[in-house]
Chains A and B, each alone.
Chain A
Amino acid sequence: MDHFDEKHLSFVLRHYRQGAFDTQAAWEKLSGTRKRRSFRLLWTLPVAAALALGVFFSWRNAWTEYRSYDVAQAFTLVDGTRATLAPGAVLRYQPHKASRQVSMTGQVLYEVVHDEAHPFTVSASPATVTVLGTVFQVIAEGPDTRVNVTEGRVRFSGPRGDGLILTAGQSASLRDAVPVLEEAPLPNPSAWATGEFRYEAAPLETVLRELSAFYGITLTADAPGKRLTGTFSTDDLDETLTLIESALSVTIGRE
């Protein structure tokens, strides 16, 4: 066999996951057979018979895929769970299976229907998020997975360790394959989907940090210690800033 270099090994090891790229399992999925040996005879039957079997299994195992292109879009899954996909997000799941399991990339807000018997699992490689019924969002972009919880509790697991339980208002992101709690999470991580910023006695610095990140600008105010309560639409930044300025008697600078 030809020799390999460090680059080959590094690439393989970086992406390696036990059980992935299982040729046998993948072949069974493609051919629709579970026990290949006992179905040996099948290969001599007309191809139509094999296809009929394949159609049945592929129906049961069929994946449904939702995508969002230019604007955020909401979809309702068969269990009633609502998934709002940010532009560019992709969500896939098997609607005919009893297990509630979706895989995704991009940014998705979930409002999960409560069902103790069937935990809802989001796999956003390399992380996994398991919940019973709650509202939370997952941002899976490359190896950086972030989770923000709005209601309820979720378990956030990486490739290593036992994972982390997150409750309402908490955010965590994956660092070196382990989820780490964020120290000062933004109050409205899902504003892109809900269309509003809600604040309850939030420090003005936090509010400005969130608005700056959301609109991609830099907002500053020289008013330490001020706190803001209120709900603002994401549609009109100027109006939001005017309201905040008059409510707190501050001047907000923008760059």
Chain B
Amino acid sequence: MAQVHEIETLFRTYYRPLCLYALHYLGDPDAAEDVVQESFTALWRQDNPVASTKAWLYAAVRNRCIDLLRKAGKTESLPRDLDGPISDEEAAERSSLEARLWTAVEALPEMRRKCLLLAKRDGLSYKEIAEELNLSEHTVRNHISRALEDLREGGPGILDFIFSFF
């Protein structure tokens, strides 16, 4: 059985990437979090030493996701992008980058984040966002381009800083 502090380090390093990985399979953040939690619990209870904990965790999450999809009667159990199925390797590869992006979106100033999400997640036009948030269209456009700038330019630096905490 692994020691608590070992598990904690692994957890803080891989929790979000694994969630993003599971999200590619399940498309639902709550289900993804549950699968990752269960996988860590399984790792904690694991009696035999694990050669590569990272590989073990990704495999555990993948197996649980596929299991869930099968039980839900889905005929296809490939991970997905917004455009359609992708390979398991691609989902795993993308997960750590996407986890950092998730953190960067979280770290955006509130208005920038709101405008960005209303535009890109909810598909609202600048005009609709302006009405919803009581701003001018010009301000909305500014918030969104600043948000993208934060993510593209400032993002990596901030992200490395955030991650160095773990």
Contact = CB atoms under 8 A, between A and B. Distances in A.
Contacts of A20: 29-30, 33
B78 interface: no
B112 interface: no
Given A18-B106, A20-B29, A87-B73, A50 B82 contact: no
A88 B72 contact: yes
Main secondary structure of the interface of B (DSSP, over half): helix
Contacts of A30: 7, 11, 37, 40-41, 44
Given A1-B156, A14-B82, A90 B94 contact: no
B117 interface: yes
Nearest to B18: A21
B122 A26 contact: no
A176 interface: yes
A160 B44 CA distance: 39
Contacts of B1: 47
Interface string B155-166: 110011000000
Given A13-B117, A15-B29, A105-B28, A27 B72 contact: no
Interface residues on A, range: 35 or more
A81 interface: no
B121 A13 contact: yes
Contact of B101 (A9, A50, A125, A159): A9
B134 interface: no
Interface residues of B, number: 57
A29 interface: yes
A188 to B, nearest CB: 24
B140 interface: no
B159 to A, nearest CB: 6
B138 interface: no
Contacts of A159: 122
Contacts of A12: 20, 98, 101-102, 105
Contact of B33 (A7, A21, A50): A21
Given A21-B29, A67-B71, A14 B11 contact: no
A94 interface: no
